[in-house]
Amino acid sequence: MATQVLSRLSFNGDVRPGRTIEARWLCNHPMETGFRVDDAGQRIPRHIITQVQCRLNGTLILQATPGTGWSSPAYLAFSLVVPAQGGSVEVSWLDDHGVQGQVTQNLVLAP
């Protein structure tokens, strides 16, 4: 059974229609580059996130192919404009072992 990779999505800023906020995604993925060796001198196999997609109310707003440049935990911050009706932000990812994950967070409008 595969271990579940935990991830979290949060927002920074005043969540009001028309305002720009920062979305922050954090994923507890091992992000092994394949270049390190263990104590026995054996190469640690590569295990990285290869694709990230961010959607606002179902519309793709960001797509990334990060490669080996990210460390663990994987972190991505991006800006977005809050729609008038609010909605939700979804971040989905896929790694080179076929493991995938997804996290969704609602945009709760400030009064």
- The CATH number covering residue 92 comes to 2.60.40.10
What are the distances in angstroms from CA 52 to CA 21, 27, 100? 19, 11, 10
Radius of gyration of the chain from its Cα atoms, rounded to whole angstroms: 16
pLDDT for the residue numbered 110: 87
**Residue 64 in domain:** yes
Q: What predicted TM-score, i.e. pTM, was given to this entire model?
A: 0.91
pLDDT confidence tier of residue 54, bands split at 50, 70 and 90 = very high
Count of the separate structural domains present in the chain: 1
Condensed to tens digits (0 to 9), the pLDDT of residues 34-52 reads 999 999 999 999 999 999 9
Q: How far apart are CA 21 and CA 109, in angstroms?
A: 12
Residue 46, domain extent: 7-107
**Residue 1 in domain:** no
